[in-house]
Chains A and B, each alone.
Chain A
């Protein structure tokens, strides 16, 4: 009896072990400080986008909830942090927590709706809620500044010492640290029995209740958590750029983060981070061309990924590795 019970836990334990590649990856994230000091602003943007993609990965990659309106939480967090700073509380860390809490509350409220639907209705409701919030922010000009964006966001020094400089030293260190901490949390979460239950929901949402798993409660929990993380990512963007525009709530941002996650590979934590690096670096390199044409290539890329690389870059790499291992036993 006890061995049977121990097996899943042993499986989780082997999954949770840190690999060399993982440690090397996180050490490599420190390289921009030394190698590309001119690109630290971009690096901080990548870290923020990666955090946002990570939050989508929790619900999409693990629980299988398709969301076309995830920017709602990102934007809600960004406006919360931005408004807090505008109204005289520019302390970054507490602003971050405040934004996470606010986005989490919104996430919990919507999760009650989300957990009841699947398939097309779910896609439509996430899309509708995202648009609803974007339109509300556009209408509430007195609060958000409307299309002009939120002006007058002034951040205090981080820990009362590190100023948010123009070169992005503080911004990157701050964003990277937040990303790493939240990544650790997500890693622990996905390697827990709860994470396994989420994957069960993704694979077969009808069979899970039959084995006694409270599917809806699980979905509510993970959706709220993803909302908190997305809110924190939005707050990071607001704090490091000291401005908030309506774009943070736009459908484009929801679609972008979906593209990033799919490009990297959903359901494997690093997918969002790898996707964010590839996407943001490519966009920075091609920033000379008109953004409309940039989306032409993104569209082609999406078609190609769906047709030829259904598990993203990381999934493709894992497939190649597995085939090699089989060839040379």
Chain B
């Protein structure tokens, strides 16, 4: 009896870590600039396609493609931030939504044009395949790898945010942007760096996601919803909030699909609407 429960918890937690990687960047940038970037998952999709291309065409090892996915998404995001986004920081939320939905449409169509609309397979190295059995429960090696990676990144992010000068500037900008500017902090500059880092993490998440949830051109839309759920439930600008929300959503989604499959994704939307009505600013939101 215990076995399946642990299995579901483990899979749900791994899935939650994936959601965390995909959404943490959006959470921090939203908290800083209040910029509604619905194209966040398109950067994740870019990371995924970079990994697939590098493995298929240039036969890079899987692990080496992960930094490449991170860099590609980060670089692309810097270009978009400089060219398009920064003109709209003071625009209405509607304009920001529309611009970024436009980008999602373009990226989805572009991916379909280049790669076709089928699922992209990824060849994992042998040491990431298979599973280990511990106390009678099967743990997939890849999921363990995913969880450890995400936990390491979370630790680095938390420490960097709490103990570095740059982290302090970011926290100040999230708490009170105007005051931070008044104190001479270069909010625009730190925002650009944060934006690139966040999109890079999304790209990494997209590359790691291929094995778990697959990769096809609809990725930019399909997972946008989950990412937005995590961000709005966790609260803007909060890494801890995103972490807890991602874990919660990941486990309840996997558990929901395992125990009551006929409900489908219904449960997850219900959890989101309920949580938002209870705490409109999210679990850890302060404003």
Question: Is the A/B pair a real complex?
Answer: yes
Chain A residues with CB under 8 Å of chain B are 60, 66, 68, 113, 116-117, 119-121, 123-125, 127-129, 131-132, 135-136, 138-139, 251, 255, 258-259, 262, 290, 292-296, 298-303, 305-307, 310
Q: Which 5 interchain pairs have the tightest Cβ spacing?
A: A299-B105, A302-B102, A296-B109, A299-B106, A303-B102
- Chain B residues with Cβ under 8 A from A124's Cβ? 228-229, 232, 272, 276
Least CB separation from B218: chain A residue: A292
Check if B108 is an interface residue, CB within 8 A of chain A.
yes
Which residues 91-113 of B have a CB within 8 angstroms of A? 91, 93-95, 97-99, 101-110, 112-113
Contact A307 B99 (CB under 8 A): yes
Closest chain-B Cβ to A56's Cβ sits at a distance in Å of 12
Contact of A300 among B91, B106, B273 (CB under 8 A): B106
Contact B108 A306 (CB under 8 A): no
Check if B166 is an interface residue, CB within 8 A of chain A.
no
Check if B87 is an interface residue, CB within 8 A of chain A.
yes
Decide: A296 near B113, CB < 8 A? Known: A66-B94, A127-B228.
yes
Decide: A123 near B266, CB < 8 A? Known: A293-B109, A303-B84, A303-B103.
no
Contact of B102 among A131, A293, A300 (CB under 8 A): A300
Closest chain-A Cβ to B50's Cβ sits at a distance in Å of 20
Contact of B280 among A121, A131, A251 (CB under 8 A): A121
CA–CA, A303 to B95, complex, Å?
9
CA–CA, A296 to B87, complex, Å?
22
CA–CA, A251 to B101, complex, Å?
12
SS of A interface (majority):
helix
Which residues 225-247 of B have a CB within 8 angstroms of A? 225, 228-229, 232, 236
Contact B269 A295 (CB under 8 A): no
Chain B residues with CB under 8 Å of chain A are 30, 34, 36, 84, 87-88, 91, 93-95, 97-99, 101-110, 112-113, 117, 217, 221, 225, 228-229, 232, 236, 262-266, 269-270, 272-273, 276-277, 280-281
Chosen A-B contacts, 28 in total, with CB atoms closer than 8 Å, are A60-B94, A66-B93, A116-B280, A120-B93, A120-B236, A123-B97, A125-B273, A127-B228, A128-B229, A131-B269, A132-B270, A139-B263, A251-B225, A255-B101, A259-B98, A293-B113, A295-B108, A296-B105, A298-B102, A299-B104, A299-B105, A299-B106, A302-B98, A303-B84, A303-B103, A306-B91, A306-B95, A307-B99
Closest chain-B Cβ to A106's Cβ sits at a distance in Å of 14
Least CB separation from A301: chain B residue: B102
CA–CA, A259 to B102, complex, Å?
9
Closest chain-B Cβ to A316's Cβ sits at a distance in Å of 15
Given contacts A120-B34, A120-B232, A124-B232, 20 further A-B contacts (CB under 8 A): A113-B277, A116-B280, A120-B93, A120-B236, A128-B273, A132-B273, A135-B265, A139-B263, A139-B264, A292-B108, A292-B109, A293-B113, A295-B108, A295-B109, A299-B101, A299-B102, A299-B104, A299-B106, A303-B103, A307-B84
